[in-house]
Amino acid sequence: MATDEGVGGRIDAAVARVFSRRLPDAEGLPRYVAPLPAWLENVGLRLAWPIALVNLVGTLFGFWYYAGRPLNTAPPLVEGQLGAAPLAAYPLIPDSPVATMFIGLSLVAWRLDWDTQWLHMLGFFGCIKLGLWTPYVQLVLNGPGGIPLWLYWFLILSHLAMAAEAFLIHRYASFSVVSVAVAVFWYGFNDIVDYFVPVLDGPHHTWLRAEPLAAA
């Protein structure tokens, strides 16, 4: 363990030589609340700008994916699940891309010293919820299906990375009652319209490859 901490400390020190902004203090929370080692939290926070950019690019790719065009640039450009839904329903459909947008903007807001606790909580809840749920769906329910194997594993690993990066947020967010309530409301509402009370020509949950078979 000491060796691992030493390696982690050296990695943190190397990153700090380029990204040297002062970081929020580590809170000494138990591992079941804050599972990332302190050095990895530090590295993630030092790299807030690049990580924010990766998340926002991922948001764009995610909307492209939900438009049914992950590897195809020929018109029409919007097919798939987005193509079958009205424009007003778009925020309710690509759950993971919206979550990466939230955490990307959360990191930007923190670096710019904006007081947006509600945004931090949307990023925290969304990345844990979708970061864990999506790999479960892909591994247990969907399988690789008709998508390339590299894209299948990219989806799984990138979503697990979402869950990991959510645990950076406790270092700079306050988890106020109001901000937590905003996140609970949004994701609760999202689940209700996804699965129970569809609106705007729902359902809005990600299409599962088993659903067309069940409907047939």
pLDDT value at 14 more than 70: yes
Do the Cβ atoms of 194 and 202 come closer than 8 Å?
yes
In this structure, the answer to whether residues 41 and 52 fall within a common structural domain is no
As a whole number, mean pLDDT of residues 150-175 equals: 94
In this structure, the answer to whether residues 59 and 33 fall within a common structural domain is no
pLDDT tens per residue, range 15-39: 999 998 889 988 888 998 999 999 9
In this structure, the answer to whether residues 85 and 96 fall within a common structural domain is yes
**Residues of the domain holding 102:** 48-207
Which of the four pLDDT bands, split at 50, 70 and 90, describes residue 71? low
In a domain, 72, yes or no: yes
In this structure, the answer to whether residues 149 and 53 fall within a common structural domain is yes
Do the Cβ atoms of 138 and 156 come closer than 8 Å?
yes
In this structure, the answer to whether residues 29 and 88 fall within a common structural domain is no
In a domain, 159, yes or no: yes
pLDDT tens per residue, range 85-103: 778 878 888 889 999 999 9
Q: Looking at residue 102, what is its pLDDT?
A: 98
In a domain, 214, yes or no: no
Exposure string for 138-153, b = 16+ CB within 10 A, e = fewer = beeebebeebeeeebe
In this structure, the answer to whether residues 68 and 119 fall within a common structural domain is yes
